């Protein structure tokens, strides 16, 4: 029962272009969403989050968009850099900062120099 879904297992983007990573969820009780970035042999590191009261949150090259009616969020990275190559996980919780995060299966982003 995968409540958070990332349907694209991989994505390749040219350096300098925009990367768009997508995430869908099924639980309408989710109200806090996070993106984590993971390099091989390391733990996930927090990237950016968004509360359900907002539809956009921006931090430097990273922007997360939330469409509550579609139960969809996306992470935009622009411009993409080779160092962005990693696996990106979408996560959600049913209350802000809740102890139990539900993770997607991840999207492997490759930024081609």
List residues near other proteins by CB under 8 A.
2, 4, 6, 34, 36, 41-46, 49, 89, 91, 96-106
Q: Tell me how far, at minimum, the Cβ of 51 lies from other proteins, in Å.
A: 12
Residue 68 beta carbon to other proteins: minimum distance, rounded to whole angstroms: 21
Between 65 and 103, whose beta carbon lies closer to other proteins?
A: 103
Residue 11: both structure tokens together: 């994505």
Nearer to other proteins, 5 or 61 (CB): 5
Q: Which is nearer to other proteins, 13 or 36 (CB)?
A: 36
DSSP lists the bridge partners of residue 38 as: 87
Instruction: Please report where in the chains the tokens 């997360």 appear, as a residue.
Output: 64
CA dist., res. 43 & res. 68, Å (int): 29
23 strand-pairing partners? 73
Place of tokens 């090259």: 61
């Amino acid at each position: 029962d995968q409540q958070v879904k990332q349907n694209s297992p991989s994505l390749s983007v040219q350096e300098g272009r925009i990367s768009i990573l997508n995430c869908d969820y099924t639980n309408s009780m989710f109200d806090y969403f996070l993106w984590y970035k993971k390099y091989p042999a390391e733990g996930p590191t927090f990237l950016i989050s968004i509360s359900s009261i907002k539809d956009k949150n921006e931090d430097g090259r990273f922007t997360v968009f939330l469409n509550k009616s579609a139960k969809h969020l996306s992470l935009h990275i622009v411009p993409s850099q080779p160092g962005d190559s990693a696996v990106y996980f979408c996560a959600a919780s049913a209350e802000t900062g809740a102890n139990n995060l539900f993770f997607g299966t991840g999207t492997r982003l490759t930024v081609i120099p």
